[in-house]
């Protein structure tokens, strides 16, 4: 397995077909907080997450869904979009609220990364809570060329997403014990992500809080519970997988 890391959606090359050297798997990461919220939503019984980069497209798709079976989750600048039922907190997606419902989601960064690799055959989302489950799924599917895509912040590098990229790759290395399943870092960004994970693996919450987006959330208010949830390594087994274009389901 060859793993490359791209720290924002803007850094992702054009997706070629697998037969022409393109990736056969992609993993999208937005630790604070979209992919953590996606994982917890599906863990707590959401029917699916439908992701949108554009709010107008989200509104149109949600309007075509039965009102009692939908929730709109919108976040811009770290805050909930006015009038939406949900923002971007993994603590808000309780079983009582999301069970059986489709969540129509758009966030500042994470949903743009999903759109960038929508054409990759196997598309997963990862966070620190499900990093080993995601690595295991990649190995089970015998993924050969894997792109991990961080979401960053409005096109800029993100420390917390790079930490999680290293966490996923580290788990894959630990799980891929057979010689024919060896894991190779395909670019320097992936090597740097592994080094960052080794530095912070025993104190992930401190890393998240020190990151620029962590500092942004702290300035917006009390997000202590969100930080603890997003930093909880291997607390989930659910793996969100793209079942159809733009639609993620539990697997």
Q: Find where tokens 């419902």 sit.
A: 101
Task: Specify whether the backbone of 187 is left (phi greater than 0), alpha (psi in -120 to 50) or beta.
Answer: beta
Q: Please tell me whether the peptide bond between 33 and the residue prior to it is cis, using omega within 30 degrees of 0.
A: yes
Tokens of 28: 């999208």
205: DSSP letter: H
Joined together, the tokens standing for residue 25 give 């798997």
pLDDT of residue 110: 83
Go through the domains of the chain in sequence order and give each one's CATH number: 2-250 (3.90.1560.10)
**CB contact at 8 A, 138 and 239:** no
Beta 2-6 vs 184-185: how paired, if at all? Answer: parallel
Separation of alpha carbons 41 and 29, rounded Å: 15
The pLDDT assigned to 89 comes to 95
pLDDT reported for residue 182: 86
251 residues of the chain, pLDDT tens digit each: 999 999 999 999 999 999 999 999 999 999 999 999 999 999 999 999 999 989 999 999 999 999 999 999 999 988 999 999 999 999 999 999 999 999 999 998 888 899 999 999 999 999 999 999 999 999 999 999 999 999 998 889 999 999 999 999 999 999 987 655 689 999 999 999 999 999 999 999 999 999 999 999 999 999 999 999 999 999 999 999 999 999 999 99
pTM: 0.95
| Beta strands 25-29; 145-150: pairing state | parallel
Contact 167, 233 (CB under 8 A): yes
**What is the pLDDT, as a whole number, of residue 124?**
98
Classify strands 70-76 and 79-80 as parallel, antiparallel or unpaired. Answer: antiparallel
Gap between the Cα atoms of 110 and 84, Å rounded: 18
pLDDT of residue 179: 52
Supply 172's token pair. 């894959």
Q: How far is 78 from 89, CA to CA, in rounded Å?
A: 10
**φ, ψ (nearest 5 deg) of residue 34:** -60, -50
Q: Which residues pair with 86 in a beta bridge?
A: 73
């Amino acid at each position: 397995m060859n793993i490359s890391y791209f720290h924002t959606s803007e850094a992702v090359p054009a997706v070629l077909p697998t037969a022409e050297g393109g990736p056969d798997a992609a993993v999208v990461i937005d630790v604070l907080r979209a992919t953590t919220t996606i994982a917890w939503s599906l863990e707590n019984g959401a029917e699916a997450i439908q992701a949108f980069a554009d709010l107008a497209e989200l509104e149109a798709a949600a309007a075509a869904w039965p009102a009692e079976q939908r929730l709109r989750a919108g976040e811009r600048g770290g805050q909930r979009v006015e009038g939406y039922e949900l923002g971007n907190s993994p603590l808000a997606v309780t079983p009582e609220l999301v069970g059986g419902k489709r969540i129509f989601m758009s966030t500042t960064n994470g949903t743009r990364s999903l759109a960038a690799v929508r054409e990759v055959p196997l598309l997963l989302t990862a966070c620190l809570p499900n990093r080993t489950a995601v690595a295991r799924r990649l190995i089970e599917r015998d993924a050969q060329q894997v792109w991990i895509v961080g979401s960053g912040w409005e096109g800029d590098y993100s420390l917390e997403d790079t930490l999680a990229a290293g966490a996923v790759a580290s788990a894959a290395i630990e799980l891929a014990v057979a010689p024919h399943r060896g894991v190779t870092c395909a670019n320097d960004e992936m090597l740097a992500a592994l080094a960052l994970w080794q530095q912070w693996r025993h104190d992930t919450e401190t890393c998240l809080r020190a990151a620029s987006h962590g500092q942004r959330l702290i300035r917006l208010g009390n997000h202590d519970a969100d930080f603890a949830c997003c930093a909880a390594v291997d607390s989930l087994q659910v793996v969100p997988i793209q079942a159809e274009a733009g639609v993620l389901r539990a697997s």
